């Protein structure tokens, strides 16, 4: 498991080029496919009759422990990750927006989009447990564990193809109202989950090492599918099987209102959408999904050093089984379902003066991250001032989320090319989020 921490730190260093997906530009008054991705009702508001997306890339790393300056310090990153008493949370998230097309016709808007998604998450991991595994100082020490929640390591890769339709349902000189829906066809690639809940016990450290015992049974879930069965610490295992077979559907629904200021302009535009309503089923010959009861008696404590060089979940399972710590609750080696992160999205874009706008954006997850069959999401609120000169646009997103805190970024668009980050300014000032996005699209008529 040493490799997991190396994996985090390498990606954190890489993702100084990385992001909140397309923050700032996705709520621009230059309406395109990116707007439709957060609210399908926007497809009937396209700025041009046709738009082609050639590519869009977005990468993000967020955590609650490590700042940008820590990467260049002399302090061991593992010491920083497991410092203090706050549980460790990290989110590594990449998205590729592939070839896509959108058009509007009379009161209608249509879109077809392709995406690939890669995620790796650390969720509420106890710092005392992580510190004992990775930073044992061989001094006499005893730490009580009292975790009622579910500590998770989870990885997911999947693709999707979206079909969108939107329609203007009311419009006069002052007001406009649109509705839209997107049907997503999901192609699950790979999945892994290690979920340890209700861990209550004691970690004892001495000259021989660090040892764990439990005071009551804990619950353990181990699940994997696709390439993540072989390793969950190698980035290539996430990217080599992003698109699997068609085994899931999801839906986005949205509404949009405009207080108009002329034929194709507005004073205020607001939108509301519920996204990712659905799930996908992983089907693979190496599928594995088992729930265990974990009991570690004081007469046979678990030596935590056994996890230092673990590469995959099967090896974790072997360590615990070989020492008689596990009993099976239920086992399912066939298909298993994973839920998408359902989100409530709300935003409002205000025209301040000609060519100057300010957008408020709220993203609220509607499911908790602790379910073993749940893909994670973040709660986000942002305010983005923006200047739009037509061919050129620049914006300054200021956001806060429930993992990395407050972030300040910068982005711009030059014709169809865009480049930005919602955390570049705070990243350089020792922020805990690092991201970048870029892409190119072409709109005409």
Residue 296: is its pLDDT beyond 80?
yes
pLDDT bin (cut points 50, 70, 90) of residue 428 is: confident
Domain ranges, ordered by start, for the chain: 2-444
Residue 228 is predicted with a pLDDT of 62
pTM > 0.85: yes or no: yes
Q: State the Cα–Cα distance between residues 361 and 348, nearest whole angstrom.
A: 7
Residue 20: is its pLDDT beyond 70?
no
pLDDT bin (cut points 50, 70, 90) of residue 8 is: very low
pLDDT bin (cut points 50, 70, 90) of residue 284 is: confident
Average pLDDT value for residue range 260-287: 92
Average pLDDT value for residue range 299-318: 84
Task: Give the residue, 273 or 422, on which the prediction is more confident.
Answer: 273
Average pLDDT value for residue range 396-421: 94
Average pLDDT value for residue range 213-224: 93
Q: State the Cα–Cα distance between residues 381 and 325, nearest whole angstrom.
A: 43
Average pLDDT value for residue range 343-356: 95
Residue 441: is its pLDDT beyond 90?
yes
Residue 167 is predicted with a pLDDT of 98
Residue 360: is its pLDDT beyond 50?
yes
Q: How many CB atoms lie within 10 A of CB 203?
A: 23
Q: What is the pLDDT of residues 148-188, one digit of tens each?
A: 889 999 989 999 999 999 999 999 999 999 999 999 999 99
> 2-444 has which CATH code?
2.40.160
Q: State the Cα–Cα distance between residues 306 and 133, nearest whole angstrom.
A: 9
Percent of the chain residues past pLDDT 70, beyond the cut: 88
Residue 262: is its pLDDT beyond 70?
yes
User: Which are the contacts of 79, defined by CB distance < 8 A and separation ≥ 6?
Assistant: 135
Paired tokens of 257: 């209102």
For 270, how many CA atoms within 13 A lie in the half-sphere containing its CB?
A: 7
Mean pLDDT (the chain, rounded):
87
pLDDT bin (cut points 50, 70, 90) of residue 27 is: very high
Percent of the chain residues past pLDDT 90, beyond the cut: 60
Residue 146: is its pLDDT beyond 80?
yes
Residue 137 is predicted with a pLDDT of 59
Average pLDDT value for residue range 211-215: 93
């Amino acid at each position: 498991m040493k490799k997991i921490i190396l994996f985090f730190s390498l990606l954190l260093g890489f993702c100084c080029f990385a992001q909140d997906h397309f923050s700032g530009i996705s709520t621009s008054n230059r309406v395109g496919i990116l707007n439709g991705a957060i609210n399908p009702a926007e497809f009937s508001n396209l700025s041009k009759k046709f738009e082609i997306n050639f590519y869009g890339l977005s990468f993000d790393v967020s955590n609650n422990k490590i700042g940008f300056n820590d990467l260049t310090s002399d302090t061991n990153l593992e010491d920083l990750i497991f410092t203090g008493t706050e549980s460790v949370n990290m989110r590594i998230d990449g998205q590729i927006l592939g070839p896509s097309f959108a058009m509007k016709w009379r009161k209608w808007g249509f879109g077809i989009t392709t995406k690939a998604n890669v995620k790796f998450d650390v969720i509420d991991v106890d710092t005392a447990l992580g510190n004992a595994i990775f930073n044992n100082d061989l001094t006499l020490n005893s730490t009580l564990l009292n975790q009622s929640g579910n500590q998770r390591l989870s990885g997911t890769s999947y693709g999707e193809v979206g079909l969108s339709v939107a329609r203007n349902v009311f419009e006069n000189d002052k007001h406009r109202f649109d509705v839209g829906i997107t049907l997503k066809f999901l192609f699950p690639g790979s999945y892994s989950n290690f979920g340890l809940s209700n861990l209550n016990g004691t970690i004892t450290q001495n000259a021989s090492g660090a040892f764990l015992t439990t005071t009551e049974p804990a619950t353990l879930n181990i699940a994997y599918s696709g390439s993540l069965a072989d390793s969950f610490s190698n980035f290539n295992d996430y990217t080599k099987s992003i698109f699997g077979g068609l085994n899931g559907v999801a839906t986005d629904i949205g509404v949009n209102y405009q207080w108009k200021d002329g034929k194709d302009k507005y004073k205020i535009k607001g939108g509301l959408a519920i996204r990712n309503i659905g799930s996908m089923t992983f089907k693979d010959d190496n599928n594995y999904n088992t729930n265990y009861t974990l009991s570690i008696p004081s007469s046979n404590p678990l030596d935590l050093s056994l996890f230092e060089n673990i590469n995959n979940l099967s090896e974790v399972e072997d360590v615990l089984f070989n020492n008689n710590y596990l009993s099976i609750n239920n086992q399912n080696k066939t298909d298993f379902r994973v839920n998408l992160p359902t989100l409530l999205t709300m935003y409002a874009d205000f025209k301040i003066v000609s060519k100057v706008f300010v957008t408020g954006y709220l993203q609220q997850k509607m499911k908790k991250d602790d379910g073993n069959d749940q893909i994670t999401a973040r709660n986000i609120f942002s305010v983005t001032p923006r200047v739009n000169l037509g061919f050129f646009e620049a914006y300054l997103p200021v956001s806060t989320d429930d993992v990395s805190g407050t972030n300040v970024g910068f982005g711009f668009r030059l014709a169809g090319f865009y480049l930005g980050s919602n955390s570049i300014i705070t990243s350089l000032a020792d922020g805990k989020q690092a991201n970048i996005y870029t892409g190119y699209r072409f709109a005409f008529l």
